[in-house]
Amino acid sequence: MTNVYKAEYIWIDGKEPTHTLRSKTKVVPMGTEPPVWGYDGSSTYQADGHDSDLVLEPVAVYPDPLRGGDNKLVMCQVMFPDGSPHPTNSRTTACLAAEKYKDHDAWFGIEQEYTFFQGAKPLGWPEHGFPAPQGGYYCGVGADEVFGRDIVEAHLDACISAGIAISGINAEVMPAQWEFQIGPLGPLEVADQMWVARWLLYRIAEDFDVAATLDPKPVKGDWNGAGAHTNFSTKEMRDSLDKCIEAAKALGERHEYHIANYGDRIAERLTGRHETASYKEYSYGVSNRSASVRIPWQVARDGKGYIEDRRPNANFDPYIITRLMLETVCGKFQGEW
C-alpha cells in the first residue's frame, strides 16, 4: 500500500500541420483529484522561450489500464495562466457548440484507421519490394494476412479497462493497417476518448518497438489511405430517414469548408479511388462506399438512424469534427443558415 497514485497527464501540442500528443506523470496524494498542472510550452510549439508557462486543465479522468491499481490517465486541455484557452486548444469551442446544440442529443461513432510502422516500412512488409496486392487483408486471418494483432488485442483490452466506449476493431485493406471505433457517444465524450485511445495505442505499440501513425496516405500508389469515418445522428435522425437525408444535404452545402478542416493532406487520400469519393465534389447515397456520405442500408430499410461521413482523414482533430457536424447539421435543422 502506498499513499500516492500516478497520474499520466495527456495533452495536445501545437505541432503543425497536425497536432500530436504529449504526456508526463504526476505523483498525486491518494484520495485527492488530479490538480491543475503546468508545462513548458516552448518545447511543444506553443510558446516562446521567454514566457512559456502553460496550464494543463484536467477535463476527463480514466483508470490507467497499463499501470493498473489506483493510477489514472488524465486528459487535459491547454490554457494560458490567465485562464483563457490557448489557440491550439480546439476543445473549448467544441464545448460551446455541444452546449448550444445539446437538445439535439447528437451521437458520434468514429472509426479511427491507422498504420503500424517498424523503421521505415509498414510492419511485416518485406525488406525489399512490396507485399502481395490488396485484396485479402481486410478482416483477414493468418500470419500471411495480418501484422500486429498482438498489439491490437492489447490496445482493445486497455481501452475496455479504461472505460473507453470502444465498439470494435478490424484489420484494414492495406497490410499493417487497422481500425478501432469509439462510440456512439456525445460530442465531447467521443473526442476526449478518441485522444486517450490514440495515446494508449502509441504507448502500447512502443513496448513492441512499433510506431502507430495516423498518416492519411502512408504508402503512395495502389494502397488504401487511412481515414476516420464519422457516424453521426441526432434524436430526430434516429427517428426519421428524411432527417438523415436533410443532414446529408446540409453537409454537401458546406463541402469545401469541411474538407479544409478534416485533416492535413486530405487531397492525397480523397482521390476517388480506394473506397473514397474525390475531394473535388460532394455526393451521398444509400449503401454507397464511394460517396462522400453514406446512408447505411439498414437506415434506409428502417426509415431512421444515422449517416456516415466518409471524408475525414485519419489525422483529423475530433474536437473540430464534432463541432463542425453540430454547427452544420444542427444549425441547419434550427434554420440558422
For the chain, give me the number of helices (H) and strands (E)? 9, 14
Does 229 sit near ligand ADP (CB under 6 A)?
yes
Stretch that binds ligand ADP, among 53-61, 179-187, 206-214, 314-322 (CB under 6 A): 179-187
Does 231 sit near ligand ADP (CB under 6 A)?
yes
Q: Which three cell numbers stand for residue 106?
A: 447528437
Stretch that binds ligand ADP, among 4-12, 141-149, 225-233, 316-324 (CB under 6 A): 225-233
What's the CA gap between 172 and 122, in Å, rounded?
A: 13
Stretch that binds ligand ADP, among 6-14, 81-89, 147-155, 229-237 (CB under 6 A): 229-237
What's the CA gap between 117 and 140, in Å, rounded?
A: 19
Which residues 6+ apart lie within 8 Å of 226 measured at CB? 113, 114, 115, 172, 177, 214, 215, 216, 217, 218, 269, 313, 314
| Burial status of residue 31 (CB atoms within 10 A of its CB: 0-12, 13-18, 19 or more) | exposed
Does 112 sit near ligand ADP (CB under 6 A)?
no
Q: Which of residues 54-113 bind Mn ion (CB under 5 A)?
A: 111
- 8 Å CB contact between 223 and 253: no
- 8 Å CB contact between 19 and 88: yes
Does 195 sit near ligand ADP (CB under 6 A)?
no
Nearer to ligand ADP, 15 or 104 (CB): 104
Stretch that binds ligand ADP, among 19-27, 152-160, 247-255, 302-310 (CB under 6 A): 302-310
Helix intervals (H) in 70-170 = 91-100, 149-161
Q: Which three cell numbers stand for residue 40?
A: 513548458
Does 240 sit near ligand ADP (CB under 6 A)?
no
Q: Which does 233 bind (CB under 5 to 8 A by kind): Mn ion, ligand ADP, none?
A: ligand ADP
Q: Which does 189 bind (CB under 5 to 8 A by kind): Mn ion, ligand ADP, none?
A: none
Does 311 sit near ligand ADP (CB under 6 A)?
no
Does 168 sit near ligand ADP (CB under 6 A)?
yes
Q: Which does 238 bind (CB under 5 to 8 A by kind): Mn ion, ligand ADP, none?
A: ligand ADP
Nearer to ligand ADP, 47 or 194 (CB): 194
Instruction: Provide, rounded to whole angstroms, the least separation between the CB of residue 147 and Mn ion.
Output: 16
| Among positions 181, 224, 292, 313, the unique one binding ligand ADP when judged by CB under 6 A | 181
Question: Which three-class secondary structure state does DSSP give residue 7?
Answer: strand
| Among positions 8, 57, 64, 111, the unique one binding ligand ADP when judged by CB under 6 A | 111
Which residues 6+ apart lie within 8 Å of 59 measured at CB? 75, 76, 77, 91, 188, 192
Q: Which does 58 bind (CB under 5 to 8 A by kind): Mn ion, ligand ADP, none?
A: none
Stretch that binds ligand ADP, among 11-19, 218-226, 244-252, 304-312 (CB under 6 A): 304-312
Which residues 6+ apart lie within 8 Å of 262 measured at CB? 311, 312, 313, 316, 321
Strand-pair category, 53-63 with 72-79 = antiparallel
- 8 Å CB contact between 70 and 62: no
| Among positions 72, 91, 217, 229, the unique one binding Mn ion when judged by CB under 5 A | 229
Q: Which positions from 169 to 188 touch Mn ion by CB under 5 A, shown as an x/- string?
A: ----------x---------
β-partners of residue 63 are 72
Instruction: Provide, rounded to whole angstroms, the least separation between the CB of residue 106 and ligand ADP.
Output: 8
β-partners of residue 21 are 12
Q: Which does 225 bind (CB under 5 to 8 A by kind): ligand ADP, Mn ion, none?
A: none
Which uninterrupted H or E stretch holds 195?
helix 187-206
Does 57 sit near ligand ADP (CB under 6 A)?
no
| Among positions 15, 26, 121, 238, the unique one binding ligand ADP when judged by CB under 6 A | 238
